[in-house]
Amino acid sequence: MIADGTAVVSRCVEQNPSCSLAVKFGSPLRLPPPPFPPMSSVVLNPQLATLPVYIPGKPIDEVAREHGLRPADIIKLASNENPLGPSPMALAAMADVLKNLHLYPDGNSFHLKRKLAAKLGVEPANLVLGSGSNEIIEFLGHALLGAGDEVLVSEHCFAVYPIVAALFGAKLVTVPAQGFHADIEGLLRAVTPRTKLLFLATPNNPTGTLTSREDLSRLLAEVPPHVLIALDEAYVEFLADPLDSIALVRSGVRPNLVLLRTFSKIFGLAGLRLGYGIGAPDMVAALEKVRQPFNINSIAQAGALAALDDTAHLDDTRANNRRGLDLLHSEFARLGLEFVESHANFVLVKVGDGARVFSELQKRGVITRPMGSYRLPGWIRISVGTPAENDRCLATLREVLGR
């Protein structure tokens, strides 16, 4: 790296003596060429060799470049984002903090934690903030996992759980799903003395399935205390009548429970990267220890503070989502496509060759998510869009499928 950078700087200085790079970097550092090919003796952590890779939804710009389309003509229904955009109140608040970006953010997110705690009816000591809830999942790995530990998940779980288990050298134990639903009985049976962490998302991504109240209550009551339950509620705000999981944290009856939430979905702030964990103070203190001091930037803190107050935006998003889900469900049924009834902001639908249909939709400017990496090669996942986006997606899907 240094040698390469030096070459660029010296070339620039030779060609143009007034090159500003020379002023910034001083005179070039001349290093002998390395006697070995770069990286040849570096030993990587062995788990990297087989680490699963997270494949994100394609950004609009990339698809535009690949297919010679105009970004404005592309719709992205690939990453379960909020199609109504960020809260206008959040946008205004974020613009207001730009002038202070020379200062480090509040490393403890004092105001955001206080407000969030008040909204949720918990104490700030019950909250840990992360760069997306993905980072909280990683904190759990840092705090709990080592070689030989077991991480318990249901088949078709969110892709980041297996990645984090592998990253920390833990063994992933996957319990087969029952008709796309987590098998709670099976999860309970799969607990061993080595089980450290159990991840369960409800609603789940990518299936959109909800774990029933009875099943969830049973799981929470029967999982032994040495297992930390990470209950991932990334989509909980879309539910009309969610289980009051926070009450379990508030009352202190489940010290081995951490709830995962995010500002990426209903709050429409996926680009800010902000999520949080809710748990017992002891557990939260452990997660705080593995957190980098300034992981939540000032823009994120300001945006989230304002978004929490924007109930109109949340209500609009929920209503748009309900209409969108109803439309997608009924159209898939009418087209004779198998789908999984969703409780989140996306629908998993069987289209035959998922990779082909994904690619044909994408060529036509509609980005969805192929499900091959979730071992569902016949399926794609479609996020709910605006009414116009949903109509365009369905029309394009009919065209591609010839129905």
- Is residue 264 a contact point for ligand PMP (CB under 6 A)? yes
Per CB under 6 A, the segment of 2-10, 83-91, 126-134, 170-178 that binds ligand PMP is 126-134
What does the alpha-carbon distance between residue 324 and residue 389 come to, in Å, rounded to a whole number?
Answer: 10
- Hey, CA dihedral for 61, 66, 70, 76, is it positive or negative? negative
Question: Could you give the angle at the alpha carbon of 397 between the alpha carbons of 395 and 399, nearest 5°?
Answer: 70
Name which of 150 and 233 has its Cβ closer to ligand PMP: 233
CB of residue 273 to ligand PMP, shortest distance in Å: 7
Backbone angles phi, psi at 19, to 5 degrees: -50, 130
Angle between helices 354-363 and 387-401 (to 10 degrees): 120
**3-class SS at 403?**
coil
CB of residue 261 to ligand PMP, shortest distance in Å: 8
Per CB under 6 A, the segment of 37-45, 68-76, 131-139, 347-355 that binds ligand PMP is 131-139
Q: Which residue has the tokens 């613009």?
A: 95
What does the alpha-carbon distance between residue 248 and residue 234 come to, in Å, rounded to a whole number?
Answer: 18
**3-class SS at 231?**
strand
Name which of 195 and 204 has its Cβ closer to ligand PMP: 204
What does the alpha-carbon distance between residue 123 and residue 114 come to, in Å, rounded to a whole number?
Answer: 8
Q: Which residue has the tokens 């009352």?
A: 251
Name which of 51 and 270 has its Cβ closer to ligand PMP: 270
- Is residue 295 a contact point for ligand PMP (CB under 6 A)? no
- Is residue 81 a contact point for ligand PMP (CB under 6 A)? no
CB of residue 55 to ligand PMP, shortest distance in Å: 12
Residue 199, H or E segment: strand 195-201
- Is residue 379 a contact point for ligand PMP (CB under 6 A)? no
Per CB under 6 A, the segment of 101-109, 129-137, 244-252, 308-316 that binds ligand PMP is 129-137
Residue 217 structure tokens:
């209550």
Contact between 371 and 353 under an 8 Å Cβ cutoff? The reply is no
For ligand PMP, the binding residues in 158-217 under the rule CB under 6 A are 158, 201, 205
User: For the CA atoms of the chain, what is the radius of gyration?
Assistant: 24
- Is residue 232 a contact point for ligand PMP (CB under 6 A)? yes
Binding mask 274-293 for ligand PMP (x = CB under 6 A): -x------------------
- Selected binder of ligand PMP within 97, 184, 234, 347 (CB under 6 A): 234
Name which of 132 and 365 has its Cβ closer to ligand PMP: 132
For binding to ligand PMP (CB under 6 A), which residues are involved?
80, 132-134, 158, 201, 205, 232, 234, 262, 264, 270, 275
